[in-house]
Copies of this chain bind each other. A is one copy, B any other.
Amino acid sequence: MIPLHSHPAGRHFLQIPGPTNVPDRILRAIDNVTIDHRGPEFGVLGKSVLGGLKKVFKTQADVVIYPSSGTGAWEAALVNTLSPGDLVLMVETGHFATLWKKLALKLGLQVEFLEGDWRHGIDPAQIEARLAADKAHQIKAVCGVHNETATGVTSNIAALRKAMDSSGHPALLMVDTISSLGSMDYRHDEWGVDVTVAGSQKGLMLPPGLSFNAISAKALAATETAALPRSYWDWKEMLAINPSGYFPYTPATNMLYGLHEALEMLFAEGLDNVFARHDRFGEATRRAVRAWGLEILCQNPSEYSSALTAVVMPDGHSADAFRKAVLQHFNMSLGQGLSKLADKVFRIGHLGDMNDLTLCGTLAGVEMGLEVAGVPHKKGGVQAAMDYLTQSSMAALARAA
């Protein structure tokens, strides 16, 4: 076996768009001793985290927790509501939308995949038109990604819901919030989402290992006819026992400790403050990117992500060589470009347990890395970010006064 904790001096900057830097409080919570998952103490924990999660999803409906990665929650959303051969409408917003599509195909669903350029979010009008054309209601569900982790492009879910409503189509709406929940505003009930998919390792600041579904009454009703085989992901067994705070199979107790702590932290800061903090980080990062003379992958400002920013590498330069130099010189991990974008973009995660100074350190690492890697750029990115952060921090204080 090999030693695992021999790192360079100073704290590593984990600035991939998730898993994010897990705060000490959460790591310490996770390392509490494991308790009897059928004992009285556990029920209190279970009820507490299930209740807290509803506030984060902004829902009164049901939420389930899986011991699994976020990928599992994608699968759960589909197998609980659909039958083999069902048609699902998906939109190619990027790598993760594409993975969800592949997963659906592997499960035996049919997928209509609306092509995209990986630089824009979902077009509600396009969905509305497609649904309107589906007179026979063959489309059983529309699946979209709220925040494409591969591109830093968000989609307007409220507008998407409105478009679906306008079409009068009964398809379910399923939304992946894996990299947005807990970082950007999201409203399961108000936006009329039927199944929301989420994971622990991004805005919730936990290590990977838990995933979630928020489930509307309509989605729950769909389970009655959904014929895809399911057991591990079956909502019904979960929901039958969850009200008492327990789970049908052994839950990931220690991760639930961490979730409990994460919820306490989010509520102590206030969700709106959390979102505002991420918005500031997004804007500061984009100002830095522009000052460097580099291109933001996301092309529509109204679709900028507050959780991460994907940056286009100048032609003839390798994003991966750049990222490698950053890791080697500056002890920071940045997100790689995925599939179509491999080696062409790098992604700066600015979500989770971060503050202004970790963001400045992050952007300094990018700016210095561009120099070290010989990537053409202008200086002044960190300066631009600092100017904005200073300004907005002073403005916030003035407002508070």
Is A364's CB under 8 angstroms from B355's CB?
A: no
Taken together as a complex, chains A and B put the C-alpha atoms of A344 and B361 apart, in Å, by: 27
Is B71's CB under 8 angstroms from A232's CB?
A: yes
- How many chain A residues sit at the interface, stated as a range, is 35 or more
Tell me which of A26-34, A150-158, A165-173 binds B. A26-34
Taken together as a complex, chains A and B put the C-alpha atoms of A71 and B263 apart, in Å, by: 27
Is B24's CB under 8 angstroms from A33's CB?
A: yes
Tell me, yes or no, whether A143 is within 8 Å of chain B by CB.
no
Interface centre among A31, A37, A336 (most CB of B within 10 A): A31
A389 to chain B, nearest CB (A): 6
Tell me which of A214-222, A293-301, A390-398 binds B. A390-398
Q: A30-B31, A207-B255, A229-B229 are in contact. List 12 more A-B contacts (CB 8 A).
A: A2-B45, A2-B48, A10-B357, A11-B355, A13-B357, A19-B250, A28-B32, A71-B231, A103-B232, A107-B231, A331-B355, A371-B394
9 contacts between A and B (CB under 8 A): A2-B45, A9-B277, A14-B34, A24-B24, A31-B31, A34-B201, A102-B231, A207-B254, A356-B364
Chain A residues within 8 Å of B, Cβ to Cβ: 1-2, 4-14, 16, 18-25, 27-40, 44-45, 48, 52, 66-72, 75, 84, 102-103, 106-108, 199, 201, 207-209, 228-232, 234, 249-255, 257, 260, 263-265, 267-269, 274, 277, 327-333, 336, 353-358, 360-362, 364-365, 367-368, 371-372, 379-380, 382-383, 386, 389-390, 393-394, 397
